[in-house]
Amino acid sequence: MKYLSGLGVLLLFTISSFGQVTISGTVLDSSTREPLLGASVFAQNTTLGTTSDSSGKFSISLKSGGYELVFSFTGYQTQSVQVTENRNQHFEILLVKEDKSIGEVIIQSSNEVKDGWEKYGDFFIDHFIGATPFAKECEIQNKEAVRFFYYRRSDKLKVLATEPLLISNEALGYNIRYQL
């Protein structure tokens, strides 16, 4: 009887882990190959994410399927990798430092709308998140990252974000990061 109950527990663990893949790896500076502590690693359009440790190592468990893994770190260019195989995978991610030097400076008028949230915030939310009762329970946590640009000649509104958007859905109880 002990043998059967032990077999049942083993079977339960096997079934619960079926369909899971572990994506692991290391996030390094591309020029020095030094590990990057605290690099953000997340599966785009999901609530799943992690950060790299002091050795630059990360590990994230995902259900089988296709994902876009996004790697970001302050002062470095964001990088993404498509994960489509349903097996455990290991990556070495080399992030490139962003060039922060300023060469020639040209002053010209900007199409950025200074009070963008006041003018276009409701329009943006209705078209980006939606207008359903559940959508009304969603909130962008880092609105300061959103920039609105209006082009009169073409009558077009362009919305950009300086970092991944942090969106919380109180109705369904989850948070996601979205690279706009």
Q: What's the pLDDT at 116?
A: 86
Is there a contact between 57 and 93 (Cβ–Cβ < 8 Å)? no
Token pair 């640009």 is found at 149
Parallel, antiparallel or unpaired: strands 20-29 and 89-95: parallel
CATH architecture of 21-95: Sandwich (2.60)
Range list of H helices, the chain: 2-17, 116-128
Residue with tokens 């502590």, as numbered in its chain: 37
User: How many CB atoms are located within 10 Å of the residue 25 CB?
Assistant: 20
Structure confidence by residue, pLDDT tens digits, 118-167: 999 899 999 998 888 888 899 999 999 999 998 888 888 899 988 999 99
pTM for this prediction: 0.52
CATH 2.60.40.1120 boundaries in the chain: 21-95
Q: Which residue has the higher pLDDT, 6 or 159?
A: 159
Q: How far apart are CA 102 and CA 113, in angstroms?
A: 24
What would the pLDDT profile of 103-121 be if each residue is shown by its tens digit? 666 555 567 888 888 999 8
Q: Give Cα 20 distance to the centre of its chain.
A: 20
**Whether the Cβ atoms of residue 23 and residue 43 lie closer than 8 Å to each other:** no
**Predicted confidence (pLDDT) per residue in 42-95, tens digit:** 988 888 889 999 999 999 998 888 889 999 998 899 999 998 878 889 999 999
